[in-house]
Amino acid sequence: MVTSTELTAQDVAWDLEPLLPESGEAGVLTLLEQADALADELSAKRGQVASFDADALVAFMQKSAELSEAIGRAGSYASLRFATDTTDAARGALMQKVRERATVIATKVLFFELEWAALDDAQADALLADERLSFAAHHLRSARRYRPHLLSEPEEVVLAEKEVTGASAFERLFEEQVSSIMVSIDGETLPLDAGLARLQSPDRDARRTTAEAITESLLPGLRTRGFVFNTLLADKAVDDRLRRFPSWVASRNLDNEASDESVQALVDAVQGRYDIPQRWYRLKAGLLGIDRLADYDRLAPLDTRDSEIGWNDARDLVLDAYGSFSPELAGVAQRFFDEPWIDAPARPGKRPGAFCAYTVPSHHPYVMLNWTSRRRDVLTLAHELGHGAHAYLAREQGVFHQGTPLTLAETASVFGETVTFGRLLSETSDPEGRLALLASNLEDQIATVFRQIAMNRFEDAVHNARRDEGEISIEQFGDLWYQTQHAMLGDAVELTDGYRNWWSYIPHFMATPGYVYAYAYGQLLALSVYARYEEHGPDFVSQYLDLLRAGGSKTPQELGELVDVDLADPGFWDAGLAIIDRRLAQTEEAARAAGRM
Supply the CATH number for residue 129's domain: 1.20.140.70
Residue 295 lies in a domain: no
pLDDT at 428 over 90: no
- Mean confidence (pLDDT) of the chain: 94
**Is position 156 within any domain?**
yes
Q: Give 307's pLDDT tier (boundaries 50, 70, 90).
A: low
Ramachandran region, residue 203 (left: φ > 0; alpha: ψ -120 to 50; beta: rest)? beta
Mean pLDDT over residues 160-184, rounded?
91
Alpha-carbon span 382 to 388, nearest angstrom: 10
pLDDT band at 569 (very low <50, low <70, confident <90, very high): confident
Q: Is residue 117 in some structural domain?
A: yes
Q: Is the pLDDT of residue 529 over 60?
A: yes
Mean pLDDT over 171-193 rounds to 91
Nearest to 574 by CA among 281, 257, 264, 272: 272
Asked, for residue 532, whether it belongs to a domain, the answer is: no
Please compute the mean of the pLDDT values over residues 132-147 and round it to a whole number. 96
Evaluate whether residue 310 is within a structural domain.
no
What does the pLDDT read at residue 4?
Answer: 77
How much is the pLDDT for 110?
95
Task: Supply the pLDDT for residue 305.
Answer: 64
Mean pLDDT, range 420-442, rounded to an integer:
88
193 vs 589, which has greater pLDDT?
589
Mean pLDDT of 151-176: 92
Contacts by 115-122, CB closer than 8 A, 24 or more apart: 115/46, 115/47, 115/49, 115/50, 116/49, 116/140, 116/143, 116/144, 117/143, 117/144, 117/146, 117/147, 117/150, 118/49, 118/50, 119/49, 119/50
> Position 502: which residue type?
W
Q: Worst-scoring range by mean pLDDT, 6-20, 401-415, 461-475?
A: 401-415
pLDDT digits (tens, 9 = 90+) for 247-267: 999 999 999 998 898 899 999
Q: Is residue 108 part of a domain?
A: yes
Range of the domain at 137: 17-165
Cβ of 595: how many Cβ atoms within 10 Å?
A: 9
Q: What average pLDDT score do residues 199-207 get? A: 93
Q: Which sign, positive or negative, has the C-alpha torsion 66, 68, 74, 80?
A: negative
> Environment class of residue 512 by beta-carbon count within 10 Å: exposed (0-12), middle (13-18) or buried (19+)?
middle
Is residue 376 over pLDDT 60? yes
Within-domain flag for 502: no
User: At residue 345, does pLDDT exceed 80?
Assistant: yes
Percent of the chain at pLDDT > 90 equals: 81
Does residue 85 sit within a domain? yes
Q: Is the pLDDT of residue 304 over 60?
A: yes
Number of domains in the chain: 1
What's the mean pLDDT in 472-488? 98
User: Taking 70 as the threshold, does the pLDDT of residue 426 lie above it?
Assistant: yes
pTM of the predicted model, to two decimals? 0.84
* pLDDT given for residue 145 in this prediction: 95
Q: How confident is the model at residue 440 (pLDDT cuts 50, 70, 90)?
A: confident
Q: How does DSSP classify residue 473?
A: P
Residue 435 pLDDT exceeds 80: yes
Number of neighbouring beta carbons within 10 Å of residue 261 = 9
pLDDT tens-digit map of 84-129: 999 999 999 999 999 999 999 999 999 999 999 999 999 999 999 9
Could you tell me whether strands 342-345 and 293-294 are parallel, antiparallel, or unpaired per DSSP bridges?
unpaired
Residue, of 308 and 26, whose pLDDT is higher: 26
- Give the pLDDT band of residue 306 (cuts 50, 70, 90): low
